Amino acid sequence: MELIGFSASVIMGLSLGLIGGGGSILTVPILVYLFGVDPVASTAYSLFVVGLTSLVGSVSHFKKGNVDLKTAFIFGLPAIISVYSVRKFLVPAIPDTIMTIGSFTLTKSLFVMVLFATLMLLASISMIRKPKKKEEEQSDTHYNYLIILAEGLLVGGITGLVGAGGGFLIIPALVLMAGLPMKKAVGTSLLIIAMKSLIGFTGDLSGALIIDYKFMLIFSAFAIVGIFAGSYLTKFIPNEKLKPVFGYFVLIMGFYILGKELLF
């Protein structure tokens, strides 16, 4: 099972390198179902893995001029504040048993997995739908700071709760709200994801969570191999064709997790 899990981590990195947004959505299911990591702990592991992998992936984009540092800072700052606050204060405050109705008990782990599955369904829709042509043609950078603040807080909060990078939310925001071309939006998104995920992870360090650093680093190494391979394959595989296929896979996985957690 570990061999399958580490192979899946390579695929996660590969998808992150190929499509930019949405690739990290696989990290938590891999950790929970293939390695048996507790759902709440897996969100912390995911923050580190996704953050480190995205940071490595952003380097190649930076060399190609596909990272807008000013935009990354403006979008990233509210997200960083939000994700750190959620990991430091909100997640530890959620009780192990949230509520009980008859024979149904909503636990903290169940809440995290259902929320994560819901996020997967939303991410899949974002990846399956065809982008509007006008999104590709924008080139003038402009900022609506109020909307950017709200977007950053929302994405940071989601990242803090479920450990996903939120690239499927960030990339459209960078295209529509900052007017970045798609390639530059993908590269800038990776840097934003790296910053907020790694800083968000530090919110768990002073808590009661026991972290297996050796396992986390090995998992990250496999994912990094995948993102290098994915970044290379972008020369040959069009993002537009691959993204909907991955979107349908994520859609199926989302329904599978909902069924497994709520029905079985």
Query: Strand, coil or helix: what is 19?
Result: helix
CA-based torsion, 239, 80, 44, 106: positive or negative: negative
Give the number of domains in the chain.
1
The whole domain housing 108 covers 2-262
Please report the pLDDT score of residue 228 as a whole number.
Answer: 86
**What does each of the 264 residues of the chain score in pLDDT, given as a tens digit?**
788 999 999 988 888 777 765 667 888 999 999 999 999 899 999 999 989 988 888 888 888 888 999 889 988 899 999 999 999 899 999 999 999 998 889 999 999 999 989 988 988 888 888 766 544 444 556 677 788 788 888 888 888 888 877 777 788 788 877 778 877 888 888 899 899 999 989 988 877 788 899 999 999 999 999 888 887 887 777 767 777 888 898 899 899 999 998 886
At 90, which amino acid appears? Answer: L
Tokens of 259: 């069924």
Residue 122 exposed, middle or buried by CB count within 10 Å (0-12, 13-18, 19+):
middle
Q: What is the pLDDT of residue 137?
A: 46
Q: CA of 215: how far to CAs of 2, 5, 60, 150, in Å?
A: 11, 12, 26, 35
The number of beta carbons lying within 10 Å of the beta carbon of residue 151 is 22
* CA neighbours closer than 13 Å in the CB half-sphere of residue 209: 24
Residues in a beta bridge with 38? none
Closest to 141 measured CA to CA, from 63, 71, 62, 61 = 71
pLDDT value at residue 195: 92
Strand partners, 97: 107
